[in-house]
Amino acid sequence: MVAVVADAMIDAPCPRVGLTITGLGVGDSVVSVWRTADGERNPVRGARRAAMVDAGFITDYDAPLGRPVFYEVEVISGPDGPSRTLTPTITVESTTSWLMDPLIPQSAVPVVGDDGEDGPYLRGEALAQLEYAADVSLINIMGSDKPMALFGQRMAARGVPLSIGANLLEHNVRLKRLLQSTAQLLFRPLPVFDSLPGTMFVSIPTVTERPVDVAEGSYLTWWDLQADTVQAPVLKVLTATFTYGDVALLFATYQQKQDGAAGKTYLDDLKSPLT
């Protein structure tokens, strides 16, 4: 019987959830893991149709902070057949929000609500307004004074102001390194920002750095960010591997080598001997 244990982990590099999955049975299983928070059910990034044998461990770096969350493990196929298993509700506690490269958890930077030395802080104008745009086309109709409106689905929040202040050199260096490394970030705000979802993947095409007071011992800097909510990024790498034994089986005889070289030049064979 499939069993799942969800543990809140608050050590470095950032708060997250560790999922231990056991009891899948001897043999290959295909598993998807889902997270439910803020009334929405979303797949755990990197855990869609994952292959496991008997047991597995998954880390959810996108888990919302300070909010109730539970997980569902869906066994699509395996030795014991399809099944669904739920975890108890847990809460990942944190005293700060977090901003990070979604593909590099070690880049996570804590963001506090007020000026302090715990990390960069959200300025007063941050999150002041959220824009929910929809594509609308107006078509004038002959004989009518009212046009017809054709519109698409209303999009998630755009133009979200994420204005950040930093008054320590260390904080400015970490922020600059993060913002220079990618234009897409993961922002996990605390529940005090109740107008925002617990997990936000945002695109920030332009960053403005404005030093305010750069003197001896002072590095006060404003970082002006305008963010658009986007889909979560997914990185998958396919690596082809072969061994000496594979080559020996493919070209065990001279005839096999002749068949493999059909239509190829000598240079083609040198560049790609297995195709």
Interval 186-208: pLDDT, tens: 999 998 887 788 999 999 988 99
**Least confident window among 165-169, 172-176, 187-191, 256-260:** 256-260
Nearest alpha carbon to residue 183 among 161, 198, 196, 202: 202
Give CA–CA dist 58/164, Å, rounded.
32
**Residue 23: per-residue pLDDT:** 93
Give CA–CA dist 217/210, Å, rounded.
17
| Bridge partners, 136 (sequence order) | 151
Each residue's pLDDT tens digit, 197-240: 899 999 998 899 988 887 776 788 989 998 888 998 877 666 66
Question: Which residues have C-beta within 8 Å of that of residue 56, sequence separation ≥ 6?
Answer: 21, 24, 31, 50
**Residue 30: per-residue pLDDT:** 94
| Bridge partners, 228 (sequence order) | 203
Tell which CATH architecture fits domain 3-91.
Sandwich (2.60)
**Residue 34: per-residue pLDDT:** 97
CA dihedral 116, 118, 178, 235 (to 10 degrees): -140
Share of the chain above pLDDT 90, in %: 46
Confidence (pTM): 0.77
Helical H segments across the chain, by residue range:
169-181, 244-250, 254-260, 266-271
Residue 162 has pLDDT above 90, yes or no: no
Residue 55 has pLDDT above 80, yes or no: yes
Longest dimension (CA), the chain: 82
**Residue 197: per-residue pLDDT:** 86
Each residue's pLDDT tens digit, 103-152: 999 999 999 877 666 778 888 777 777 788 888 888 999 989 988 988 88
**Residue 115: per-residue pLDDT:** 64
Residue 273 has pLDDT above 70, yes or no: no
Cα–Cα separations (whole angstroms), residue 194 to 8, 78, 115, 189, 190: 22, 40, 20, 9, 8
Residue showing tokens 């009334």:
39
**Residue 218: per-residue pLDDT:** 75
Query: What type of residue sits at position 221?
Result: T
DSSP state of 268: H
Token digits for 190? 């605390």
- Average confidence (pLDDT) over 59-74: 96
| Bridge partners, 208 (sequence order) | 224
